Amino acid sequence: MDCAREGCWEADLIMLEAGDSEESAIADAIKDVAIQKVVISIKEMDNNVKEVPDELEKLLPHSKVVMAQIKRNSPEILLSGLDADAIEKVSGIFKEGGYIPKFGKN
């Protein structure tokens, strides 16, 4: 967490895999250096996770937030967000990693 802000300052793309409270704290720490950057929130798919990353969008209003929900023991990954170009970019990254991207509600 101490280096999150500095790491994000240098990054072109930011990936977060954290619980909601940790994610909120990280978003608060990086919001001024994550402007116009793609921020991927990685979550395990379950019935409690929303398809659209509303809360993170509010915390990082000037970032391009993409929610990536991974199914356990499956190559499928559900991607959603408000920026179509960011979703396409993230889709390509996960395809290269062997995942099968599916697209959720935007």
pLDDT value for 47: 61
- CA separation for the pair 26, 18 (Å, rounded): 9
**Residue type for 40, please?**
I
Model-level pTM? 0.86
Residue 92 gets the label, from left (phi > 0), alpha (psi -120 to 50) or beta, of: alpha
The enclosing domain of 53 has a CATH number of 3.40.50.720
Show the domain range for 90: 4-103
Q: How many structural domains are present in the chain?
A: 1
Other beta carbons within 10 Å of 32: 11
Q: What is the pLDDT along the chain (106 residues), one digit of tens a residue?
A: 456 777 778 888 999 988 878 888 889 989 999 999 999 999 888 765 555 557 888 999 999 999 999 988 899 999 999 999 999 999 999 999 999 999 986 5
Tell me the CA end-to-end span of the chain in Å, nearest whole number: 29
Q: Cα-flanking dihedrals φ and ψ of residue 21, to 5°?
A: -70, -40
